[in-house]
Amino acid sequence: MRKAGHDLFVYGSLQEPEVVHVLLNRVPDRVSAILSGLFRIKGRVYPTILPDGAGEVTGKVLKGITDDELKLLDEFEDVEYVRKAVQVVLTDTSEKLQVGTYVWRNKEDPDLYGEWDLEIWKRHDKDGFITATKKFMEGRKLPEAKTRIDTFKTFFKQDIENGKPLDS
């Protein structure tokens, strides 16, 4: 019998429990998994994947995501990403699992390059990313709510103006 809820493969910033907690007000059960094809987005503090990319992507499968949480995560990922079904391999058991994940919508994006590194992100961008995510969640309650893209552009533009680079 299938457990209620959705299983979602996350990589990049959504591997960080603090980010997930800001969004969902909880940290779901999670297990390590592998998928292929991770690229970094130029000038951004978050990565993307293309399912036909080379290499392996390590991430987490968030277990038991509710329908409302999935809608919220879809809203957070905004128009830049599309949620697709993929197959991942669980690190501990080698079990194959069908899950959802967020894939970059523009496969021909000229700004896709290089690798995104979670440890570098934690050192350079995590605090700002969590603050921007909190601003996104607070802003959702307002009638003139901004998208995640607009919230992050505003937040990180202010960071640049204060002398802190957007992406170190």
Residues taking part in catalysis: 77
Closest CA relative to residue 76, chosen from 129, 118, 23, 32: 23
Distance CA 6, CA 164 (A): 38
Give the HSE-up count for residue 57: Cα atoms under 13 Å, Cβ half-sphere.
31
Who contacts 48 (Cβ-Cβ below 8 Å, separation ≥6)?
A: 12, 38, 39, 40, 41, 80, 81, 102, 103, 104, 112
